[in-house]
Chains A and B, each alone.
Chain A
């Protein structure tokens, strides 16, 4: 029995689940959720089987063939795939379980779980894809399922707008990605990833940057990050799964998969985009009030880290840990993937935790209206704190510390300026997270909803606990089973370079500064934002997210739509009115003119005859 059957199974379970739900159980949410969670469990099991029991392999079957354009549907399982597969399957399963509790009373539960299944299908396809085209197909599908789930609350106009925005912004990124694919095909003559990696043909900076466009869109890099915070309109488990742990990381995964297509110039651009994203998002997070928005900006910021890591690291080739040799795993890839993995744990945890809070607080999301939740929801509090500690990179004991250090170490070696920027990013992270933590959990409740909050049931807390474990221990190589270890180990290794100590000191200082500043600055369970009263202009800029959304809205409403209407109007006037009606009118005028020649008198008709004779004569002697 071929290994590919398991891969097929991996795709088949969620697809079947989605199909069954769509066709038979649209109205029975309980069954639907059961099917979906069952599918997630099967996925996890199958994924574990692939990871632990199966060797790396590649499987391809011809899908479409026109002339020399040949796409294969297939699976490319290597270490990178396995790591990503683990993250997706594991977090996916936990989120499914959590959703059972979170969505319990929702009348349209079936649609939610169907959507989750479709997402799992798409995401797994993306991870397994063996060619750029297949990857792109699932890439788009992932975007589509994200679109569906963001817009889950159908009657909320903001949800509709957010989902639309997410899709379109992603498409802008895909615009570059697709051109990149076209160029890759033109340059290499194939789109199969392993064939590409062995290809002799030279890559160009343009190709690299175009492929990176896809990442910019999907992973919320500057300037296309605007959709991600808005995507929080979706149910919170969706945010945890799609917009924190897996889908948004797909951009990073794409970079890692196609690292061999990059050039030094391209990497440089990628690095600075990542760094800028990390900083801008970090600053923005400081002034947000919505708990999910803060986490979303935090995600953007962390994704910036990963992208920056990739941009930094691929300059340093760190051996070849891949048995198939089809992807060159470099330091950057390792660091990025390491951080991706740990981030998946703690960010999923944080989102689920916030989901737990929101659920308990009856959909209250403003942190300034919470407060004092630590006592009401102890498990949530402690697990959330664990995630938070990991995110801010609490020294030594948390996963985030190790993975972030790997990135910083890389930066220290490669690019000093980037290094300092990233350290500043780390300070910001600690600052805004502690702000959130202190205001939401400590102090006393600020609203009715927070007052009546209480701990949620087991289905919601168990996933939190499991993720908390991952958040703490995920930074240690020994935590991972053998099969997942190669890349993590490579990433972790970065921390043991020559400048190990310096980097660690910077990192700890950043942690202390950020944490301390926030602790001092914000009161426990504050009712309003102190920053607003202290530095109003700064707060305004930050709260307005550096005006990105304003600019986009202005562009869409004032530029794009007006241009569209103007073009439409011009076209109507020019074609329909001037030319068409004009020609019709002209013909009509001729018609009226000719009509008026029929005056009805024999006499005038006789002149036609003499005129005709003259005309004939003229024609015959060639006067015309």
Chain B
């Protein structure tokens, strides 16, 4: 029987993999995708908890998270594009004009 813990395992693994991607990859776009993955992992967790523990709260929260994430993506991509226009790169290693 599949229980709550299974879903939570998947959810937390997704979160971890997303974080792993942020740690590993140097392409800004991929990093950004990994961040979306992390947000989604949270969604899965919320829905699973909501399903197994009862209550609407989790489901509603997911609704907000999806909305927020969409807005964030829009803004983030706009910034990446603007930066690409200036620097012709999306590699984080090369984006280090600000440093000591």
Contacts and interface: CB of A to CB of B under 8 A. Distances in A.
Direct A–B contact present (CB less than 8 angstroms): yes
A601 interface: yes
A595 B99 CA distance: 9
Nearest to A596: B100
A599 B94 CA distance: 12
A607 interface: yes
B26 interface: yes
A157 interface: no
Contacts, number: 29
B97 interface: yes
Given A607-B23, A610-B19, A602 B99 contact: no
B8 interface: no
A598 B96 CA distance: 10
A601 B92 contact: yes
Interface string A437-459: 00000000000000000000000
Interface in B42-100: 92-93, 95-100
A606 interface: yes
A622 interface: no
Contact of B99 (A600, A606, A607, A610): A600
A610 B23 contact: yes
A595 B22 contact: no
Contacts of A610: 19, 23
Given A603-B92, A603-B93, A598 B23 contact: no
A600 B23 contact: no
Nearest to A613: B19
A292 to B, nearest CB: 77
Contacts of B98: 600
A596 B100 CA distance: 7
Is chain A's interface secondary structure helix, strand, loop, or mixed overall? helix
B39 to A, nearest CB: 15
Interface in A578-605: 595-596, 598-603
Nearest to B22: A606
A598 B100 contact: yes
A194 B91 CA distance: 100
Contacts of B92: 601-603
Nearest to A607: B23
Contacts of B23: 606-607, 610
Contacts of A595: 100
Contact of B100 (A600, A603, A607): A600
Contacts of A603: 26, 92-93
Contacts of B26: 603
A601 B96 contact: yes
A598 to B, nearest CB: 5
A182 B19 CA distance: 80
A318 to B, nearest CB: 93
A599 B96 CA distance: 8
Which residue among A599, A600, A602, A603 has the maximum number of chain B CB atoms within 10 Å of its CB? A603
Contacts of A602: 28, 31, 92, 95
A606 B19 CA distance: 9
Contacts of A598: 99-100
B100 to A, nearest CB: 5
A601 B93 contact: yes
A607 B22 CA distance: 9
Nearest to A600: B99
Contacts of B100: 595-596, 598-600
A599 to B, nearest CB: 6
Contact of A600 (B19, B22, B31, B96): B96
Contacts of A606: 22-23
Contacts of A600: 96-100
Contacts of A601: 92-93, 95-96, 99
Nearest to A610: B23
A607 to B, nearest CB: 7
B4 to A, nearest CB: 23
Contacts of B93: 601, 603
A333 to B, nearest CB: 86
A603 B28 CA distance: 10
Nearest to B20: A610
B23 to A, nearest CB: 6
A496 B76 CA distance: 123
Nearest to B97: A600
Given A599-B96, A600-B96, 19 more contacts: A595-B100, A596-B100, A598-B99, A598-B100, A599-B99, A599-B100, A600-B97, A600-B99, A601-B92, A601-B93, A601-B95, A601-B96, A602-B92, A602-B95, A603-B26, A603-B93, A606-B22, A607-B23, A610-B23
Identify the 4 closest CB pairs spanning chains A and B, nearest first. A600-B99, A600-B96, A602-B92, A598-B100
10 contacts: A598-B100, A599-B96, A600-B96, A600-B98, A600-B100, A601-B93, A601-B95, A603-B92, A606-B22, A610-B19
Interface of A: 595-596, 598-603, 606-607, 610
